Structures are given as C-alpha cells and as structure tokens.
Chains A and B, each alone.
Chain A
C-alpha cells in the first residue's frame, strides 16, 4: 500500500510503524507539530459513530497509564452505554512529582493526545471534551489546538483547565470537582465518575498517554498494538527513569522490559523505587532480575503505577529520602478522612524519627501497625499508597534502621535525591 492511496480513505500514513518509539517523536527531543504528526500517522480515523472503537480497544488490551492500569475498554463501555449528556476528560495533571512523562508527551506529541481525545469522545458519544493539565503547562497544546481547528480535524471543542499543584489533583473525583468549579479534592466513590461525573453526566477520564495509545490502536488495530509488550499487558509505556547519578529521562519502553536494561550500571544503586510516591521500594539485588510489568512486579508487592523508576544511589540514606517523601505525602492529605488525616502525619513523624539517629524501640512496630490501620480507609487511595511506600521503605532499608539505632548513618551525600514539590496547602484556594 502506498501513502497516497491510503491517506484519503482511512486517514492512515505510511505502513504501520515497527518497534519503538510509538508515541514519542522519531527524532528524540524534537516535538512534532501538526505537519509532522500527519506525515507520520495521518488524520484521526473517526469511526462514524459511538461504540465502534470499543471492540478494538478491548482486543488490544489497553490499560490506563495514569497509575491504576484499569482496562480502558471497561470504562469506555460504561460511559458509552449510559444515556444523555456525556463528558470526556484527558487527564494530564501528572500530580506525581517524580513523573514527567505526561508533561513531555503533551509537549512532544500533543496531536496524538488530541487525536485520542477526539476518538474516545466519538466512542462514548461525548458532547463535551476537557483537557486537565499540569500546573505551568507549555504553549504547545494550545498551538496544536488552533492548528487542528484550522485543519478541521477536531469534531468537539476542547476546553483546558489547569490543575493545582497538589498530589491528589489528578485523582478522578478530585479532577471532576475541579472541573466543576470547586477545589480539586477527592470525594467518596461510588458513584464513580463514569456513572456520575461532571455536572452529574457520565464522565470518561483517561490519562493523556492512554489516549495517545488509543489513537494508535484506532489507526493500526489491536494486532499491531500487541506486537510489543507482554500478552497480559500489551504495548509500550512512558517511564520516567532516574539513574543513580541523578539524571532523569522519560523513555518509551516496551512493557515487560527487564528493569536492568533501563538502568545504567554505574554508579551503583542500592534500591529502586517503582511506581512513584504511591509505589514500592525494592532492593537493587532483587529489582535487577525483574521486568517492567504488573504481572511480575505484583509478586513482589510492587506495581508499574505511573511509570516512575528511581534508582537510589549507594551514597544516600534511604530512610532520609523515604522520610522526606512521607512528610510530603502527609502534607498532601486532603484532610477529609480521619485515618489519612491522623495516620499519615504520624507515619511521617515516625519515619523521620527512624531517619534521625537513635530512635525509640517501638517506632518501627508502630509504623507497621499504622500502615495497616490506614489502608483502605480513605475516600481515595492516598492512605493506601502512602502506607505501601512506608512499609516497603521499612523492609528495604531495615539494615539502615539498625545503623541509625546505633547513632550513625551510612550516607556520604546528604543532598536530597528524589524530587518534591514544596508548599503545603494552607487555604482552600490551594486546591483550586
């Protein structure tokens, strides 16, 4: 098939691309504008009616790339099956401070995200489309929207809302509350936003990377999508990888790739944080033999999450790093649910005590108990994620806890390693 024959008919560009990258620009670091995007992928292949794309998405086995890895077709089918006004939201809030992949995707390939947004909107029969973007998003997405309007690519107007710089701002119900004009705070589910979301309308919220994959599945089909990745978790994913030398990079990788291939061998790392700040620490010796997919990671109590992989260098103190993150997570509690409001600051203080020198004997047992007590007791999964993070730090850095108990610390470098945002919420406006 030639490009010229194919383009007018189904909107496809040349032959389906092989290998990597699928989403990121062909020339690393050079964003693709609408011209480059159309030359590479062609126009978005609208199906002509709601529901028609769901089968392909299901066959492709696409899962959400925002962190929860929920099957995309299930949420799409729920909203598509509902009656009345429906809303679609592309979630690019990327409220995880260690993750940079959504921001990069929105700069480098905004048109792929917008294609996915329009195609998913068609699949559910949406009458309203929103983009929910991370604080301080760049001008690229606005340029892309105006270029697309001129080219007549979009069927639905897209309105942009900026997320507040809060860890929970990207959580589905917080997002819907923010778009509705209120603070970005999570509320109890049910109802799920796919049943009753923005203004009461069934709302499909998908991560921007998920929508970019969906745009490619719509073009090249499920069989192409499954050519990379594992049988259970097909496709590629964007990962934010922090090497032990402190250099970080967003990479598009095949799901199921050995973690060791993502990490430089030098300088040596002692532990790996997988999934982000709701994620899990693993000792480097164990992590080196694992692959980047939930089937493997779940066996070790870890998950791919938002695709953050951070190698903690040998010279840093894992307890100090974990305590910094735990304190940040505590300050980011919405303060709505008792276990989270009361439990997270205690856990943060307990971990800070362990990270200091000489601690009370019972602190470690207290931390483990509190981690168990807060789990599954919030409106959102913030207490669960924080408890997982703290519990894995206690396990992985257990030798360091004994060192600290004797009044020492093995760190040779005390500069903070993991990136954090500063400024905890002090007024209701900080969630807006």
Chain B
C-alpha cells in the first residue's frame, strides 16, 4: 500500500465512521430534545454525549475531507469540503457533502455562541440537523461504491432506520407532552416519597429493627 492509497483508504474509513457518528449525534439530539435518557446515564450525560460526539464527528469529517484532498488519485480541491460545486470529480455528491458539512459548522458555531444568541435563532439553525443528516447520507451512498452493496449497505440501511425511528418517536412523544404547568407537579410526584412516610421504606425498616 503506497502513501497515496493510504489517503484514499483513510478518507473512506473516516467517511464511514463519520456516518455512524452523525447517526449517533442525531439520535442523541432527539433524546436530549425529548429529555429522554440512556440506561445507566443521567440526563445531563446524554447532553454531554450529544455534544462530545458531534465534535468528534466534525474532527472525523475534517480528516475525511483532508485525506480526500491529499489523495492524488483524483483531484479534489480543498475548497470542495465547504463550497458546493467546487469539485469536478463527483460534483453532485461532493456538493451534498459540502452542504451537510456547512450545516454542521453552522450548528456547532451557533451552539458555542448559544449564550449570546437569541434562542429562536439557535433553535432554527439546530433544526437543520434534520436536513443535514439525509444530505450527508445521500453523499455517503452516492459517492461511495462500497456503501452500495454488502454489509456496508446493511450498515447504512440500519443507520437510516435508526434515524427514522428516532424522528418518529420524537413526533409521537411531542404529541403527548404535558402542558408546561403540569410538568413540575408530575416530576415532583414521581420523585417525592408518599406523604406521611419519613424516608424510604428500607431505612424505616432498619430503624424499626
């Protein structure tokens, strides 16, 4: 394997990993939005996981773009990583890649500035995630022959199914959300010990003994 093919393999590998990471980021984002949780993790950890994996995904995509550019087998200009229609090789599919990467950068920048931004603006940009993932997915399937058959195709389909399931779950969950005024009472009732008892049952038994 020469230095040149190393770049090519690295680019394809990081691309596939990026697809998996972006799928995880989107599913976790939906979980954060619905205040859901993962087994064994507090809700706050889901938020951190969403944030950290999104940053990891961008790092992988940066390597994915860079190695594709450094690879000399086909000529891809560095600008095509962020500028649509900048590459003559696979112009359409690379344009989709650039668009999805641009949306990701916009989401990350607005999230880093979230404290200084208007909430509506942040939310508007963040909702573009639902556009970003399908565009990135189309880029993956379209530009990579590897993903079009075999177990990598199965993996891609699994990713798409997970995203679809998460999105449907979000819609269903939003439809049966409690009104704001009832939320605190519901959560308080869930966590408070029943009135009239002092401390949890286990502790009371211990004292009784």
* Residues of B contacting A427 in the complex (Cβ-Cβ under 8 angstroms): 179, 181
Contact with A along B150-192 (1 / 0, CB 8 A): 0000000000000000000000000000011111110110111
Chain A residues, CB < 8 A from B192: 327, 345, 348-349, 352
A426-B185, A430-B181 known; A342-B207 Cβ under 8 A: no
B117 within 8 A of A: yes
Nearest CB in chain A: distance from B206 CB, A: 6
User: Contact mask A326-345 → B, CB, 8 Å, 1/0?
Assistant: 01001101111011011011
Does the CB pair B180–A336 fall under 8 Å? yes
Q: Which residue of A lies closest to B179 (CB)?
A: A428
A339 and B44 form a contact (CB under 8 A)? yes
B118: interface (CB < 8 Å): yes
| A-B contacts at CB below 8 angstroms, number | 90
> Taking CB as reference atom, which chain B residue is nearest A358?
B203
A331 to B184, Cβ gap below 8 A?
yes
A357 touches B184 (CB 8 A): no
* Partner among B119, B191, B206 whose Cβ is within 8 Å of the Cβ of A346: B191
Q: How far is the CB of A423 from chain B (nearest CB, A)?
A: 12
> Among B42, B118, B184, B202, which residue has its beta carbon within 8 angstroms of that of A341?
B184
Shortest CB-to-CB span from A306 to chain B, Å, is 23
A19 to B198, CA, bound (A): 51
B42 → chain A closest CB, angstroms: 7
The answer to the question of B149 belonging to the interface, with a C-beta cut-off of 8 Å to chain A, is no
Contact check, A353 vs B183: say whether CB atoms are below 8 A apart: no
Is B35's CB within 8 Å of the partner chain A?
A: yes
CB distance from A239 to the nearest CB of B (A): 31
Chain B, Cβ-Cβ closest to A338: B35
Q: Which of A77-85, A115-123, A187-195 forms part of the interface with chain B?
A: A187-195
Closest residue of B by beta carbon distance from A340: B184
Q: How far is the CB of A428 from chain B (nearest CB, A)?
A: 5
Nearest neighbor of B116 in chain A, beta-carbon distance:
A190
Q: Do A335 and B204 touch (CB < 8 A)?
A: no
Please indicate the chain A residues that have their CB under 8 angstroms from the CB of B185 in the complex: 331, 424, 426
Q: Is B134 an interface residue when CB atoms closer than 8 A count as contact?
A: no
Name which residue of chain A comes closest to B47, CB basis: A338
Does B181 contact A345, Cβ atoms closer than 8 Å? Answer: no
For A330, what are the chain B residues with a Cβ–Cβ distance below 8 Å? 184, 188
Q: Out of A349, A356, A407, name the residue touching B191 (CB < 8 Å).
A: A349
- B180–A345 touching, CB < 8 Å: no
Chain B residues, Cβ within 8 Å of A333:
184
Residue A360 interfacial (CB < 8 Å): yes
**Contact, CB under 8 Å: B183 / A341:** yes
Bound state CA distance, A331 and B190, in angstroms? Answer: 13
| C-alpha gap A178/B15 in the complex (Å) | 50
Residues of A within 8 A of B197 (CB): 356
Given A341-B184, A428-B179, is A358 in contact with B35 using a C-beta cutoff of 8 Å?
A: no
With contacts A190-B117, A357-B207 taken as known, whether A342 is within 8 angstroms of B199 at the C-beta atoms is no
Most A Cβ at <10 Å: residue of B181, B184, B190, B198: B184
Judged by a CB distance under 8 angstroms, whether A416 is at the interface is: no
Known: A190-B118, A373-B42. A357 touches B181 (CB 8 A): no
Q: How far is the CA of A339 from the CA of B42 in the complex (A)?
A: 11
Nearest CB in chain B: distance from A16 CB, A: 43
Hey, which chain A residues are within 8 Å of B202, CB to CB?
360
Tell me the nearest residue of chain B to A188, going by C-beta: B119
Mask: chain B, 89-109; 1 = CB below 8 Å from A; 0 = not: 000000000000000000000
B56 to chain A, nearest CB (A): 22
* A residues in contact with B44, CB < 8 Å: 339, 373
Contact A358 B193 (CB under 8 A): no
- The residues of A that contact B182 with a CB separation of less than 8 Å are 426
Given contacts A331-B188, A334-B180, A345-B192, contact A359 B119 (CB under 8 A): no
Report if A352-B193 is in contact (Cβ < 8 Å); known contacts: A338-B35, A338-B43, A425-B181: yes
* Closest-CB distance, A424 to chain B (whole angstroms): 6
Q: Which of A190, A349, A360, A428 sits near B180, CB closer than 8 Å?
A: A428
Which residues of chain B are within 8 angstroms of A346 by Cβ–Cβ distance? 191
Say yes or no: B118 contacts A345, CB within 8 Å.
no
Beyond the given A352-B193, A353-B193, A358-B207, please list 16 additional residue pairs across the A-B interface where CB-CB is below 8 A: A190-B116, A190-B118, A330-B188, A331-B188, A333-B184, A335-B183, A339-B44, A342-B35, A345-B187, A345-B192, A353-B199, A356-B197, A356-B198, A356-B199, A424-B184, A431-B181
Q: Identify the B interface with A (CB < 8 A).
A: 35, 42-44, 116-119, 179-185, 187-188, 190-193, 197-200, 202-204, 206-207
25 contacts between A and B (CB under 8 A): A188-B119, A333-B184, A338-B35, A338-B43, A341-B35, A345-B187, A345-B190, A345-B192, A348-B191, A349-B188, A349-B192, A353-B200, A356-B198, A356-B203, A357-B199, A357-B207, A358-B203, A358-B207, A424-B184, A426-B181, A426-B182, A426-B185, A427-B179, A428-B181, A431-B181
